Amino acid sequence: MPPKTVKVVVITGATRGLGRAMAERFMEAGHTVLGCGRGHAEVARLTRKFAKPHEFSTVDVSRDEAVQDWAKRVLHEHGAPDLLINNAALVNRNAPLWKVPPDEFQRVMDVNVVGVANCIRHFVPAMVAKKSGVIVNFSSGWGRSTSPEVAPYCATKWAIEGLTAALAQELPSGMAAIPLNPGIINTEMLQSCFGSSAANYPSAEEWSRKAVPFLLKLGSKYNGKQLSVMDE
């Protein structure tokens, strides 16, 4: 059998929830994970636990200059990623739209939409130069439908769907940009919305054992397609 190809996987929001679970599954499968998160302590713990070539960095994806610095280091040391996963996201505290404070609304927008654009801006040119690689922008069921009291989050995920569809039309042949609905998973984010009923859904670790093999199979034929992990 031919030797297995080791992929370079960049993951935002890699210190908790889905990002952390995906990072561990990709590493278990023998791939190189380059992740980021906002928490210094969490990044330090991951750095101690997982040796090079894996790397974890403290990055606020909503800050363009921070993403630029991170991308420069990653691209210099590892080259263009094979898989760029824009996973980092926030959800607003449950409230009618008119009761969401302006600073909270702005923060959700900045991380969930601006953060994705920042990562695309600084990682995708290297991928385009190679004419290879897959960009997966995490959407949500709330990027294709809506619910009350999470309007800011819904707005960002609908934006991700449109942004990704347009990006897919801009990429050269051989690449793909995919908006991915991960499904309903019991994470801290879901708990903030669903409360105790979040426990009725799979954990991030359980989900990742299905999601990571699915992500590794994605290629150019899926460019622009709305995909959902739970359908696979």
State whether residue 122 is helix, strand or coil.
helix
Both tokens assigned to 55: 């790397």
What H or E segment, with its residue span, contains residue 213? Answer: helix 204-216
Q: Are 47 and 214 in contact (CB under 8 A)?
A: no
Cβ count near 6 (within 10 Å): 12
Alpha-carbon gap, residue 232 to 228, rounded angstroms: 7
Q: Which of the residues are catalytic?
A: 153
